[in-house]
Amino acid sequence: LGSEDPSLWSVWDATRPDDAARGRLNVMPPGNDLVLEGDGDIWRILAKPQDGRREFRYDATSELIVQENVTAFPLPYEVDQIGAAKKKIVLSFDDGPDPNYTPRILDILWKEKVPAVFFLTGEPASRQPGLMKRIYDEGHEIGNHTWTHPRFSDISRADLAVQLNTTERLLESKLGIKSLLFRPPYGIDHQPETAAEIAMLPEAQERGYVLVGSRIDPHDWSKPPADLIVKNVLADAKAGKGNIVLLHDGGGDRSQTVQALPRIIDGLREAGFEFVSVSSLLGKSRAEVMPPLTRLEQWRARADAFIFNLYHGFRLTIAWVFLGGIVLVAGRALIVGALALIEKFLPQPMPWANFHPRVSVLIPAHNEEDAIVGTVQSALHSQLPGTWPPLEVIVVNDGSTDSTGERLYRNFGQNPSVRILEQRNMGKPAALNRACEVARGDVLITIDADTYVEPEAVATLAQHFGDPTVGAVAGNVKVGNRDRWLTRWQALEYVTSQNMEKRAFDLLNCISVVPGALGAWRAEAMQAAGGISADTVAEDTDLTIAIRRLGWRILYDDQAVAHTQAPETARELVRQRLRWTYGTMQAVWKHRDTLGRRRYGTLGWIALPNIFLFQILLPLFSPVIDLLFAATLLLWGLAQFRATQIQQLWTKDDVVRSLIFFAAFMLIDLLTCAVAFALEKREDWTLLAPLLPQRFYYRQMMYWVLFRSLMQAAKGHAVGWKGPEPRRPETPVPTAVGHA
């Protein structure tokens, strides 16, 4: 607009000159314009930028501006640098307190009788209240260095307000004082050089803070050798570069700073420097830059102290939960894995190989029209040598309302090896007891009505009873229907959790459940235990513990394989697992008198405590670990979009720690799974692929089942025997023996 002064340049849109014959234009000052006055390291902002303004008159006929008048010139930041004093020096320390380095620095300062100022970062300071108090009690000054040490140029005014306020309230609640000293993080503590660097500082000054910089900066944060730190500090001080030395007592490895500090003090004293405080450079007392709280402020500080203690306790609890969970899971994985390996490779002599008992297969069935024929056929195809007594298969139709009974009679009604019993729906324990009453076998094999046993499974289990001390043997149950994510996750769980634990506990004679899907029982032991009780809805767990506490041995044979139909919907799975979990808790409670009793050996010292700790207690905390990991990532991510209040609680360090903890959990899971799969015969290793999504969906479902079970137990509600809902008619039912 005709001006040769670049500071007055501006642009005016004159597309509608008839409507804009007169007007005003604001003139912005250059972005980096900054006026510094004085020669100290303490800043006082005297003026903030001001827009310039000009008035003009536009002549539409000539299309020229015919008159202009500058009414206000643009003004830059004006900063007064105060506190300069000849031969006086202040030692300042940023980013602490650190439990490793701050005490060592304080020891040196105490020994040398040197005052200093510590600009504390709130988040680490909240974890070290004792160090904060020591700094204050030993006569040093304390300044505010924000809560999480954010990049000053990246935060908003609202962010800064929260950063300052949170740290200030921490100081008030722990020390009973307010600090007027403030130093911005990330390198803006030197002399400001651009308007961008100083843009946020007026916000702190307007809140009553004194802005403390430093022009003697040896860059000790980059961990140079101690010799170089000493050399740079002494050279800058002797050259009169400034009065405040910037060092660091936190934020990383500060061992070089600690080594350099005594030599810095000795060198500056030899050069004639006097060590003073920031308040001395300002001509004020320590109490004036760190005033005590009023009575009203003290009450507020007490409330703040409660909140900070709660916050600190919460973080500490979470850390211990993570650490405790890792230790327990890792310890159990190592022990169970080692025992399983020993059991697998320990020689297993079978002196009873010629033992040929009479065997009865018991199959309780309720609404199993789609699977019952294949299950009975698989039992009948069991490979028993010719010298064995004929196999007896007893099927109890427990009040089925579908065509289960019809299919049984149509396919096996004329088969002399199959006995079909009918009863009204009374539940699985009653159905099994009914079968036991008529069974002629010395060894009873229980099979679920939706399970297919491999040909050698029955004989393999039965031969163990040649040892007169054996009361029951658990088979190797695998998931047969693996065509969905949900069933594949269950297949993974069967291999890595249930079966691997049985391997380990076989060695210790403390298997707590012989599964109803495929289990073998000595008829004599079952009778001695009182038969199959209806006291719990986990009748197999109850009976196993009852037999074991009578002194019988409980074994596991991984060569006796059965393939069961796992629930295919989340609803069916939750219903099944609710019964299992609730029944397990019932069984543990029923046999609680075995806990810690010497006469019951590993049953009371290992098996039942294992159930309580790893099937009930730890899973209650596991979802907390998973959810906190997800929440940490979410909150930290939101913080990147200026979610200020969140940013103060979840830092990058929190995210890193959470990732490490979670990675440790996943690594333990993966290693445990790898061992379990290595011990299995003909197992599908691709089941390991969905290990990560399993944790975030399947396991959360199991945690919900556990929570519901505990709530049911607390309310005293019973959970009935309910198997998976009938399969859809269009679903093909495998009938081949050994189907997987």
Active site residues: 94, 248
- The answer to whether the peptide bond before residue 76 is cis (omega within 30 degrees of 0) is no
- Helix, strand or coil for residue 138? coil
Could you write out the DSSP letters of every residue in 614-643? IIIIHHHHHHHHHHHHHHHHHHHHHHTTT-
Dihedral sign of CA atoms 525, 530, 535, 539 in order = positive
Question: Nearest CA to 382 among 415, 360, 365?
Answer: 360
Residue 590, CB half-sphere, CA atoms under 13 Å: how many?
20
Question: Nearest CA to 707 among 626, 616, 590?
Answer: 616
Distance, CA of 168 to CA of 162 (rounded, Å): 10
Compute φ and ψ for 35, nearest 5 degrees.
Answer: -115, 120
108 alpha-carbon distance from chain centroid: 40
Dihedral sign of CA atoms 618, 621, 627, 631 in order = negative
Q: In angstroms, how far is the first alpha carbon of the chain from the final one?
A: 86
Q: How far is CA 79 from CA 156, 195, 214, in A?
A: 22, 10, 15
Could you write out the DSSP letters of every residue in 672-728? HHHHHHHHSSS--GGGGTTHHHIIIIIHHHHHHHHHHHHHHHHHT-------PPPPP
Tokens representing 376? Answer: 């009975």
- The answer to whether the peptide bond before residue 97 is cis (omega within 30 degrees of 0) is yes
Strand partners, 23: 56
Instruction: Compute and round to an integer the Cα radius of gyration of the chain.
Output: 39
Dihedral sign of CA atoms 635, 640, 643, 645 in order = positive
Residues sharing a CB contact under 8 Å with residue 331, sequence separation 6 or more, in sequence order: none
Distance, CA of 341 to CA of 679 (rounded, Å): 8
Residue type, 376: V
Q: Evaluate whether 419 touches 391 at the Cβ level (below 8 Å).
A: no
Distance, CA of 606 to CA of 569 (rounded, Å): 34
Residue type, 149: H
Distance, CA of 209 to CA of 418 (rounded, Å): 91
Tokens representing 504? Answer: 């380990």
Could you write out the DSSP letters of every residue in 49-83? -B-EEEEEEEETTTTEEEEEEEEE--B-EEEEEE-
- Helix, strand or coil for residue 256? helix
Tokens representing 582? Answer: 């609730």
- Tally: H helices and E strands in the chain: 27, 21
